[in-house]
Chain A
Amino acid sequence: MDTAPGADLAARLTQTAAAARVPASMTALDPMRPRPFRIERWQRDLSDTFTIDLAPLEGSPLTFRPGQFNMLYIHGAGEVPISISGDPERPERLIHTTRAVGQVTNAMKALRVGDVIGVRGPFGTPWPVEAADGHDVVIVAGGIGLAPLRPLIHAVLARRGRLGNVVLLYGARTPEDILYRKQVSAWRGRFDMTVHVTVDRATGRWSGPVGMVTKLIARGGFDARDTAAYVCGPEIMMRHVAQALLDRGVAAERLFLSMERNMKCAIGFCGHCQWGPDFVCKDGPVFRYDRVATRLAQSEV
Chain B
Amino acid sequence: MTGEAHQHSGMTNGAAPGLVCLTDDGLAALFAVLREAGCEVIGPTVRDGAIVLAPLTSVDDLPRGWRDRQDAGHYRLAPGTGPARFAHAVPAQGWKRFVHPPEARLWTARRDSDGDLSIEGPEAPPAPRAFLGVRPCDLAALGVLDGVFADPGAAHHDPAYALRRRDALVIAVSCGKPAASCFCAAMGTGPAAGDTGADVALTELVEGDRAVYLARAGSPAGAALLEAVPHTPATDDHHTARRAQADAAAAAQVRALPEAASRILADATEHAHWADVAARCLACGSCTLSCPTCFCATVEDSTSLDGATATRTRRWSSCFTEVFSYIHGGAVREERGARYRQWITHKLSSWHAQFGTSGCVGCGRCITWCPVGIDITAEVAALAADRPIRNRRAPARLRPQHTGPRRRKDDPPA
Interface positions of A (Cβ within 8 A of B): 1, 4, 6, 9-10, 12-23, 26-34, 36, 57, 73, 75-79, 101-102, 114-118, 260-262, 264-265, 267-272, 274, 276-277, 279, 282, 295, 298-301
Contacts and interface: CB of A to CB of B under 8 A. Distances in A.
B117 A13 contact: no
B37 to A, nearest CB: 4
A4 B223 CA distance: 13
Contacts of A15: 10, 14, 219-221, 224
Interface stretch (B80-88, B150-158, B244-252): B150-158
Contact of A269 (B14, B119, B148, B332): B148
Nearest to B301: A78
Contact of A118 (B37, B119, B354): B119
A300 B109 contact: no
A207 B149 CA distance: 55
Given A34-B119, A102-B328, A20 B7 contact: yes
A22 B149 CA distance: 11
Contacts of A116: 111, 115-117
A32 B106 contact: yes
A33 B156 CA distance: 12
B221 A277 contact: no
A228 to B, nearest CB: 26
Given A20-B9, A272-B317, A10 B166 contact: no
Contacts of B296: 270-272
B93 interface: no
Interface string B104-148: 001101010001111101100000100000000000001000101
B58 interface: no
Contact of A12 (B221, B328, B341): B221
Interface stretch (B318-326, B394-402, B405-413): B318-326
A271 B317 contact: yes
A130 to B, nearest CB: 21
A78 to B, nearest CB: 5
B119 A26 contact: no
Contact of A277 (B148, B219, B225, B353): B353
A272 B325 contact: yes
B328 A269 contact: no
Given A26-B157, A277-B349, A300-B333, A4 B166 contact: no
20 contacts: A6-B36, A14-B128, A16-B219, A18-B142, A20-B7, A20-B219, A27-B159, A32-B312, A36-B116, A76-B303, A77-B301, A79-B299, A118-B109, A261-B332, A267-B155, A269-B297, A272-B298, A272-B317, A274-B350, A277-B349
Which 8 residue pairs across A and B have the least CB separation, nearest first?
Answer: A20-B10, A271-B296, A300-B338, A12-B224, A277-B353, A15-B220, A17-B219, A267-B156
Contacts of B346: 271, 274
Contacts of A301: 269, 332, 338, 342
B167 A14 contact: yes
B214 interface: no
Given A265-B299, A269-B295, A271-B319, A13 B224 contact: yes
B24 interface: no
B164 to A, nearest CB: 9
Nearest to B4: A21
A21 B196 CA distance: 13
Given A13-B34, A17-B198, A34-B119, 13 more contacts: A12-B221, A17-B221, A20-B10, A20-B219, A22-B162, A29-B159, A31-B156, A36-B119, A116-B115, A260-B327, A267-B156, A272-B317, A277-B353
Interface in B15-39: 29, 33-34, 36-39
A102 to B, nearest CB: 6
A17 B10 contact: yes
B219 A57 contact: no
A26 B319 contact: no
B40 to A, nearest CB: 13
Contact of A18 (B118, B157, B166, B269): B166
B199 interface: yes
B103 interface: no
A183 B14 CA distance: 67
Given A32-B107, A279-B354, A75 B342 contact: no
B168 interface: yes
Nearest to A101: B328
Interface in B268-297: 269-270, 295-297
A171 to B, nearest CB: 17
Interface centre among B39, B155, B166, B295, by most A CB within 10 Å? B166
A294 to B, nearest CB: 8
Nearest to B353: A277
Contacts of A10: 37-38
Given A271-B297, A271-B317, A27 B37 contact: no
Contacts of A282: 155
A118 to B, nearest CB: 6
Contact of B166 (A19, A32, A277): A19
A270 B128 contact: no
B170 interface: yes
B372 to A, nearest CB: 21
Contact of B221 (A13, A36, A115, A268): A13
A33 B320 CA distance: 28
A112 B404 CA distance: 58
